[in-house]
Amino acid sequence: MAASNSSKSSSLAWTLWAIAALFYAFQYILRVCPSVMKEDMMVKFLTDASGFGTFSGIYYMGYAAAHLPIGVLLDRFGPKWVMASCVMVSVLGVLPLVLSTSWELAILGRFLVGAGSSGAILGVFKIVRLYFPDAQFSRVLGLSVTMGLAGALYGSYPVGRLSATFGWENVLLGLFVGGALLAVVMALVTPRAPKETLEEKGTLLRDLRLVFTNKFVLVTALAAALMVGPLEGFADVWANSYLVNVYGYSAEAASFLPSLIFIGMGVGSPVLGYLAQRWHAYYGVTLGCALGMAVLFALLLVVQLPFIIIAACFFLIGMMSAYQVLALYMNSKNVDERLSGIVTALTNMIIMSFGYLFHMVISKVMVHFWDGQAVGCLPVYSAMSYIKGLSVIPLTLMLGFMGFWWVKRATKQA
Are 311 and 208 in the same domain? yes
With CA atoms as reference, report the closest residue to 413 among 319, 283, 291, 221. Answer: 283
Q: pTM of the full predicted structure?
A: 0.75
Confidence of residue 375 (pLDDT cuts 50, 70, 90): confident
Q: What 3-state class would DSSP assign to 334?
A: coil
The more confident residue out of 139 and 9 is 139
Q: Which residues of 121-145 are buried (b: 16+ CB within 10 A; e: fewer)?
A: bbbbbbbbbbbbeeeeebebbebbb
Are 186 and 117 in the same domain? yes
**Is a pLDDT exceeding 70 seen at residue 337?**
no
Are 138 and 194 in the same domain? yes
H or E element that contains 239: helix 238-246
Q: CA-CA distances (angstroms) from residue 279 to 98, 276, 283, 352?
A: 51, 5, 11, 28
At residue 38, the pLDDT reads 84
Give the mean model confidence (pLDDT) for residues 199-223: 83
Are 50 and 171 in the same domain? yes
Using left for φ > 0, alpha for ψ between -120 and 50, and beta otherwise, residue 78 falls in: left
Confirm if 53 and 177 have CB atoms less than 8 A apart.
Answer: no
Are 227 and 133 in the same domain? no
The domain boundary, picked from 142, 176, 201, lies at: 201
Residue 169: give the domain boundaries. Answer: 1-201
Are 52 and 169 in the same domain? yes
Amino acid at position 237, single letter: V
For 254-291, write each residue's pLDDT tens digit: 878 888 998 898 888 878 878 887 888 889 999 999 99
At residue 275, the pLDDT reads 87
Give the mean model confidence (pLDDT) for residues 82-88: 95
The more confident residue out of 138 and 354 is 354
**Is a pLDDT exceeding 90 seen at residue 372?**
no
At residue 199, the pLDDT reads 58
Between CA 358 and CA 395 the distance in angstroms is 12
DSSP alpha helix (H) spans, 93-102: 95-99
Confirm if 127 and 140 have CB atoms less than 8 A apart.
Answer: no
The domain boundary, picked from 145, 168, 201, lies at: 201
With CA atoms as reference, report the closest residue to 142 among 270, 278, 332. Answer: 270
CATH number for 49? 1.20.1250.20
Domain count, the chain: 2
Are 355 and 391 in the same domain? yes
Q: What are phi and psi of 351, to 5 degrees?
A: -60, -50
Are 194 and 255 in the same domain? no
Q: What 3-state class would DSSP assign to 285?
A: helix
The more confident residue out of 374 and 297 is 297
Are 96 and 109 in the same domain? yes
Between CA 117 and CA 197 the distance in angstroms is 24
Are 178 and 243 in the same domain? no
Confirm if 43 and 147 have CB atoms less than 8 A apart.
Answer: no
**Is a pLDDT exceeding 70 seen at residue 328?**
yes
Q: What angle do CA 146, 27, 396 make, to 5 degrees?
A: 75
Q: What angle do CA 186, 339, 334 make, to 5 degrees?
A: 125
Q: CA-CA distances (angstroms) from residue 289 to 116, 124, 125?
A: 30, 26, 25
Q: What are phi and psi of 261, to 5 degrees?
A: -65, -45
At residue 8, the pLDDT reads 45
Are 246 and 341 in the same domain? yes
Give the mean model confidence (pLDDT) for residues 383-404: 95
Q: What angle do CA 27, 391, 243 make, to 5 degrees?
A: 60
Are 109 and 185 in the same domain? yes
Between CA 340 and CA 361 the distance in angstroms is 32
The domain boundary, picked from 145, 172, 201, lies at: 201
